[in-house]
Every structure is written in structure tokens, then in C-alpha cells.
């Protein structure tokens, strides 16, 4: 096994940097440092913690351009989307700066006691295992509330964005966080499993694939440690007969093609009622054709390569499976190394991989149904449960179907997206637990009952 990992630009396959993996001894030294840091950090008052969050936000703003370029070089995101990711992280810092004190305040409960309340105490060292597709946002939406609550964190980031991982640690250090509060672990998954097993680690948060989630949940369960899992998605985008396509087609296309389709909450199954079906296919195809592909560092780029060549190979297999089973290619189905062209499929059926599996790339299968009842039945026919979106002018009727959607989110006339003000997470094979909002900051605390008779 190699003791190095390489960061490679997926657009031109050029080597960006080679990193030496940390030894098990080095990793556990960091773990002990995180544990030691927790003993001081947990006692820092909330005003001090939130001031440091302000510092993180300011540094992100100051370094917006180089950090955005780093994201684009390492995982191929169009530069404008990289900037948007950093700006969203700044908003995240602002949100918890404003609200952390209220979220963590003791909650007074009237009981038979003279005084009783709920106290939210930090747990200790929390391990995070993070993906490459939003290399700053995914880490910070975990780390910011977790640190604000008084925990310390160690992060195993995806190997292809190691530069981003190390940049994140530098940001926290420069913001004035105590040494050991935020540390990046540059190592392999075998060592990380041992880290999770260690008593120092009190809980784990993973954003990644269903397979990774099952593996981490198994280890966490064996050691009775809490886990928050944000896994894959196969979100349905339902378009009803009365949907205003002229108003929402840009949003619908963005729901599939943002980040070149590499998003767990992207629209991955388009379910369209028959009276609007042909118009939808025409407008959707016309809009996708306008998306500009070029070097992701170019300002006009809207579609880029996938983050790695093997990801494009996986998408090709899923599309080939659909074609072999009768699907028709309306657009796309061209591949060149890590590039996979935006692809639209019609005449798709439930036995195809593009229906049953998560397609992590710019592929849009479009299903035709008779009515909303059939649309909802098809939408909920999935092992995943991250989110569903529905487009209609009759929002009152749409809200009557909220209880029929078993997912973690239901968006009407908008793409499913994460927002610091709202809880984020899924059901079924999409995982469990919630990030963001008040629910996110409470995931890694001891919800302690205090009962006092004087």
C-alpha cells in the first residue's frame, strides 16, 4: 500500500500535489491533542467561541479567491460555483454566531422540583469523515455547530481534496481556535476505523455513500457511539400538468446539473405527468443544450468534468444499462476521461439502474405518469429518502401531500437545497440524524436533565 496520495486536476489530469500519509502514531498523537484541547475548550464561554466563528467567516471572505480556485483545481467545480460554496460557508458562520448562544442556553422546565432544566453539554472529540463534492461546505456545516457547542473535531477528508482539508485546518488555526480544536487527519480508512474505535472519540459524523455509512454505523454501533449519517440520495422531481415551465425550467435544470450533477440532493428522477410531458422534455433539453462546458477556471463555465475518471466510468455503466433495457438517449451519452456530457434519457423504467441507484453525475432520466397519485407512488418507490421536489401552480393541494413523502425534505416549486436555518438529513438508506439549524448543534451534546430541590 502506498504511503502517499495525489491530488490531481480532473480537467487536465495534471498533478497538483503529492501528500505523505500520516502514520498511525502521528494520527493518534493528534487524537490525544484533540482530547487535551477539549478539556480547555469546553470551558470557554459561548461569547468567545462565537467570536472565533466571526474570525472564520472573515478569513473565508478574505481568502475567497484562492480558496475557490483550490476547490476548482482539486475536484473540478466551475469557479463560480466554488465561490458560491465559500459564500455559503460565510453565511453559515454568521448564522451560528447569531444563534449558538440561544440554541445552547439551558431550557427551563416546570416540574415538581424547585428548579429543573435541560443543559446542553459537549461530548468531547467528534470524528468527521467527509466527501469531496462540496469540500468546504460539507466540513464546515458539521464543524461550525460542533465546535460552537464546545466539542473538538478531527476530520478525515476525501483524499482527492487533501489541499482543501489542510486549508481548512489553517483557517481555524489562523482564526484563533485553541491548538487541537480542529485537526485534519491525512491517513487511510484502516487507521480511521481504529480512531473511531478509540475511547477518546465520542461520536462520528459521516457524509458519503450508503456503503460507507453502513460500514461506519457498524463500527460505531459496536462501540455504542452516536453516529450522524448523511448518505446517498435519489431525489424525485415531480412536474405536474399545471407547472409553470417558463418560470421554473432554469431551477429544474439547476436541480440536476449543479456541481455537474455531483450532489446527494440533486434531482435524479424526473417524474412528469403526461399532458405536460412533451413540453417538459423539449424545454428541459433546450436549456441543457445551452450549458457551457470548458475549463472550470473560466468564468463562463457551467458544466465541468466529474471529480475523477472512475466516476465517469460508473455513470457510463448506468446509462448503458438503461439503453440496453430500452431507454432512448435524447441528448448526451459522450464520455472523455473524467468528462461525461449532460445526458437526457426517456422511455425509462423502474428496472433500470438510473431508477434504482444513485446517479452521481449529469444524467436526467424522465418518466411519464398519468397523474399526481402515480407520480407520488413512483417518487416514493426508492430505498433512499433524502428529498423530493414538486412543481405545480396549485400549492395548496401540493401541501396536502406532505405526509405522503417519507423523505427528510419536501420542496414545492424549488430545488432541494441545504440552508443553515433549516435542519438537513434523510431517512431510509439516506441515513439518519440532522445537520444545521438548532437540530444540528444538538446532535453532539449531552442533553442533560438537571433537577434541584433546595
Pick the catalytic residue from 230, 357, 435, 443. Answer: 230
What is the crossing angle of helices 189-197 and 24-41, to 10°?
A: 40
Q: How far apart are alpha carbons 239 and 242 in whole angstroms? A: 8
Q: Is 36 exposed, middle or buried (CB count within 10 Å of its CB: 0-12, 13-18, 19+)? A: middle
Pairing of strands 15-20, 4-8: antiparallel
Q: Which residue pairs from 342-345 have beta carbons closer than 8 angstroms and sit at least 24 positions apart in sequence?
A: 342/257, 342/261, 342/288, 342/291, 342/303, 343/319, 344/281, 344/284, 344/285, 344/288, 345/319
Examine the residue annotation and report whether 230 is marked as an active-site residue of this protein.
Answer: yes
The torsion of the CA quartet 40, 45, 51, 57, rounded to 10 degrees, works out to: 60
Q: How far apart are alpha carbons 96 and 107 in whole angstroms? A: 18
Which three cell numbers, joined as nine digits, stand for 300?
463562463
Neighbours of 396 (CB within 10 A): 8
Q: How far apart are alpha carbons 186 and 139 in whole angstroms? A: 15
Which three cell numbers, joined as nine digits, stand for 60?
473565508
Q: How far apart are alpha carbons 305 and 127 in whole angstroms? A: 30
Catalytic residue IDs: 230
Amino acid at each position: 500500500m502506498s504511503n502517499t496520495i495525489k491530488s490531481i486536476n480532473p480537467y487536465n489530469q495534471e498533478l497538483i500535489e503529492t501528500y505523505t500519509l500520516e502514520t498511525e502514531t502521528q494520527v493518534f498523537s493528534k487524537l490525544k491533542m484533540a482530547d487535551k484541547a477539549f478539556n480547555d475548550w469546553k470551558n470557554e464561554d459561548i461569547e468567545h467561541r462565537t467570536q472565533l466563528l466571526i474570525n472564520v467567516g472573515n478569513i473565508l471572505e478574505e481568502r475567497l479567491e484562492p480558496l475557490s480556485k483550490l476547490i476548482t483545481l482539486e475536484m473540478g467545480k466551475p469557479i463560480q460555483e466554488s465561490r458560491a460554496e465559500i459564500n455559503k460557508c460565510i453565511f453559515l458562520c454568521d448564522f451560528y454566531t447569531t444563534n449558538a448562544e440561544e440554541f445552547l442556553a439551558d431550557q427551563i422546565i416546570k416540574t415538581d422540583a424547585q428548579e429543573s432544566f435541560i443543559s446542553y453539554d459537549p461530548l468531547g472529540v467528534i470524528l468527521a469523515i467527509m466527501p469531496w463534492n462540496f469540500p468546504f461546505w460539507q466540513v464546515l456545516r458539521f464543524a461550525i455547530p460542533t465546535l460552537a457547542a464546545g466539542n473538538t473535531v478531527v476530520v478525515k477528508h476525501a483524499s482527492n481534496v487533501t489541499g482543501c482539508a489542510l486549508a481548512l485546518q489553517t483557517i481555524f488555526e489562523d482564526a484563533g481556535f485553541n491548538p487541537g480544536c480542529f485537526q485534519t487527519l491525512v491517513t487511510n480508512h484502516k487507521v480511521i476505523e481504529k480512531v473511531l474505535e478509540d475511547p477518546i472519540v465520542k461520536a462520528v459524523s459521516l457524509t458519503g455513500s450508503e456503503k460507507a455509512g453502513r460500514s461506519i454505523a457498524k463500527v460505531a454501533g459496536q462501540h455504542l457511539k452516536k453516529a450522524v449519517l448523511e448518505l446517498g440520495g435519489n431525489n424525485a422531481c415531480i412536474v405536474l400538468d399545471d407547472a409553470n415551465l417558463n418560470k421554473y425550467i432554469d431551477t429544474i435544470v439547476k436541480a440536476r446539473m449543479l456541481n455537474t450533477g455531483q450532489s446527494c440532493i440533486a434531482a435524479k428522477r424526473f417524474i412528469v405527468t403526461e399532458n405536460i410531458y412533451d413540453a417538459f422534455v423539449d424545454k428541459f433539453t433546450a436549456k441543457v443544450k445551452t450549458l457551457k462546458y470548458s475549463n472550470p477556471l473560466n468564468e463562463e463555465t457551467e458544466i465541468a468534468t466529474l471529480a475523477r475518471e472512475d466516476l465517469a466510468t460508473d455513470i457510463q455503466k448506468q446509462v448503458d444499462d438503461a439503453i440496453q433495457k430500452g431507454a432512448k438517449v435524447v441528448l448526451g451519452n459522450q464520455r472523455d476521461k473524467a468528462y461525461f456530457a449532460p445526458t437526457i434519457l426517456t422511455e425509462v423504467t423502474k428496472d433500470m439502474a438510473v431508477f434504482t441507484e444513485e446517479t452521481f453525475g449529469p444524467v436526467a432520466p424522465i418518466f411519464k405518469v398519468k397523474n399526481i397519485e402515480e407520480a407520488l407512488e413512483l417518487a416514493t418507490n426508492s430505498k433512499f429518502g433524502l428529498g423530493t421536489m414538486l412543481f405545480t401552480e396549485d400549492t395548496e393541494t401540493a401541501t396536502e401531500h406532505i405526509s405522503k413523502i417519507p423523505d427528510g425534505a419536501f420542496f414545492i416549486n424549488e430545488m432541494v437545497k441545504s440552508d443553515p436555518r433549516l435542519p438537513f438529513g434523510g431517512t431510509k438508506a439516506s441515513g439518519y440524524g440532522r445537520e444545521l439549524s438548532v437540530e444540528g448543534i444538538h446532535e453532539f451534546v449531552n442533553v442533560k436533565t438537571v433537577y434541584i430541590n433546595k
